[in-house]
Amino acid sequence: MNYQAIRKTLKFGSMVFGASAIFLLILPNLFLDLLGLDTNPAMAWSMRMIGITLFALTGNMWNNSVNSSDMGVKNVAKVMCASATALGVLTLLVPADLTWFSYAYATVGFGFGFSYLINILRR
């Protein structure tokens, strides 16, 4: 397992998710538009709730990348591998016509999932 690469992936992922969190908090309607979803106050509120949750994930990812033992990083990498891949899948299952942003966002999820997987399997 390539612990250094996993730590770097966690740090980079925390920055990407942190940017997503800010985007969701400040411009939830734009995010919804980019995904091809309807914009309304309830959906905007939901996006802001997700944004707050992403802040927690951002902090945990960064903290684990810096402070966790190799065993802790290994466990976090497994969770993040599944989560990032699921993010990609769910983005492609959005109940709307897929947009360029949907494909880009899914690619980001799949990219992180793949990075975790490769570094979990490396010796």
Tell me the pLDDT tens digit for each residue of 89-111: 999 999 999 999 999 999 999 99
Sign (positive or negative) of CA dihedral 56, 57, 62, 66:
positive
Residue 112 to residue 37: CA distance in whole angstroms: 24
Query: What are the sequence ranges of the domains in the chain?
Result: 3-121
Tell me the pLDDT tens digit for each residue of 21-75: 999 999 999 999 999 999 999 999 999 999 999 999 999 999 999 999 999 999 9
| Residues 123, 3 contacting (CB under 8 angstroms) | no
Residue 96 to residue 98: CA distance in whole angstroms: 6
Q: Count Cα atoms within 13 angstroms, Cβ side, for 20.
A: 24
| Residues 47, 28 contacting (CB under 8 angstroms) | yes
Residue 123 pLDDT > 80, yes or no? no
Is pTM beyond 0.85? Reply is yes
